Structure 1
């Protein structure tokens, strides 16, 4: 996955020091007579099964970033329905030594159109998964993002 150009320019100045980046998680749901399904993809870098995620570009509205990432990564058009969770992820140190603190905004999204496929190489596979069977999802945190977005309450969860 290519690092955005603006991050590379920042890294020229700060090296591997911690950098705060705003991320989005698009929990894309599709209703059918059989029930609710969530769109998940297998990441090409580590093989993890995850919802669609990405970094907000400078000046970009977060909900538009979620829509952009859904199209770029999975080739689907979505409607962003609501903000489900706002939370800070634990500091991550990438293999090259770069440290990042991701501030994640998790959105509940509705599939509108498009046949999911690995559109830009960030995913090796993309498809619909039963909302009641998320054992293969990469982490408890990601399962919680999906759970909170799928919850029909309409409330946004904030830590603190």
Structure 2
């Protein structure tokens, strides 16, 4: 569902006025499935969606429901959008995304919690699970079709966290990226 019902109802009252919303970015990584998987130079694969609204490849994002924990929202969003069941593996950062005016005129700002996720079944292949995406797939990080610097940084953070979780420091403040 592209717009959660609680937002539809709130928008009936406030129109296009600025709305502050809790959101997640779920960066799902797995070991490569090709011959390089056992190499010391193996590059993880990232699960990406090609968004229906703008054609951009991104990690999975979504809006948390009222009283929903960020990690539960990330698990739900990944499964809804790709069919992949995941578990949270770490916090990458938390911060405001900056002001956004959506194509329909709605104004919003999101407090985003970025999480690294691991698939419960690394061999599972994703499917387009809803109308928010037109394609989904696993991509080696070194060959991913992501062009937006903020998403590339989130994915790089997830790879760094995965490789050295004990040395990783989550980012505080995302709009400064």
Give the alignment's Cα RMSD to 1 decimal: 1.5
Larger Rg: 2
Distance in 1 separating the partners of 2:70 and 2:117: 13
Q: Does 1:84 align with 2:127?
A: no
Give the deviation of 1:68 after TM superposition: 0.3
Q: Say which SS state the counterpart of residue 150 (structure 1) adopts.
A: helix
1:125 maps to what in 2? 135
Q: Which has the higher strand share?
A: 1
Instruction: Name the structure 1 match of 2:164.
Output: none
Q: CA deviation at 1:94?
A: 1.1
Report Cα offsets for 1:95-130 as digits up to 9, x if no partner. Answer: 221100011111011112232110112211111111
Q: Distance in 1 between matches of 2:3 and 2:131?
A: 13
Pair 1:140-2:154 in alignment: no
**Length-normalised TM-score, structure 2:** 0.84
Give the Cα separation in 1 of the matches to 2:85 and 2:147: 24
Deviation at 1:138, TM superposition (A): 4.0
What SS does the corresponding residue of 2:44 show, helix, strand or coil?
Answer: strand
Partners of 1:106 and 1:149 within 8 A in 2: no
1:18-70 CA distances to partner (integer Å, 9 max, x unpaired)?
00011101100001315310001111121110111100000111100000001
Runs of at least 5 residues in structure 2 that lack an aligned partner in the other structure: 162-166
Q: Is the 8 A contact 1:82 1:109 kept in 2?
A: yes
Give the paired residue count. 159
